């Protein structure tokens, strides 16, 4: 995977505010690679510690990594059955909010 692509993903992800979430697809689209959400997910697997990977979830509002529930709840996000409650309200779209 291209290192520049990964760094762009990490920079966008660092901008997601606490208490908000985004999706793999939204991040991919924001860096100019729509339909590359799986690549975003793969890059998140090895991201630096300062990248809040727990704030990036599937477009359906379901956690891909169950262990992230604790971190999200610590930020005030309610998770029920691995699904973000009020997902649409909490969704952070980088194309609209940067």
CATH number at residue 65: 1.10.10.10
98 in a structural domain: no
Decide: 71 and 54 in contact? Cβ < 8 Å. Answer: yes
What is the per-residue pLDDT across 16-27, written as a single tens digit (0 to 9) for each? 999 999 999 999
97 in a structural domain: no
Q: What total of structural domains would you count in the chain?
A: 1
Using the CB atoms, write b or e for 7-33: b if 16+ within 10 Å. ebbbebbeebeeebbbbbbbbbbbbeb
Q: Which domain does 53 fall in, by range?
A: 3-89
Strands (DSSP E) found in 1-98 = 22-23, 56-57, 79-80, 83-84
96 in a structural domain: no
What is the per-residue pLDDT across 22-67, written as a single tens digit (0 to 9) for each? 999 999 999 999 999 999 999 999 899 999 999 999 999 999 899 9
Decide: 92 and 59 in contact? Cβ < 8 Å. Answer: no
């Amino acid at each position: 995977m291209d290192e520049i692509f990964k760094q762009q993903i990490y920079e966008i992800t660092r901008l997601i505010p606490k208490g908000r979430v985004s999706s793999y697809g939204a991040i991919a689209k924001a860096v100019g690679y729509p339909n590359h959400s799986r690549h975003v997910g793969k890059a998140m697997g090895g991201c630096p510690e300062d990248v809040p990977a727990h704030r990036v979830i599937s477009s359906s509002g379901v956690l891909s990594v169950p262990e992230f529930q604790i971190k999200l709840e610590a930020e005030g996000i309610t998770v029920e059955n691995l699904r973000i409650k009020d997902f649409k309200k909490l969704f952070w779209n980088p194309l609209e909010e940067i």
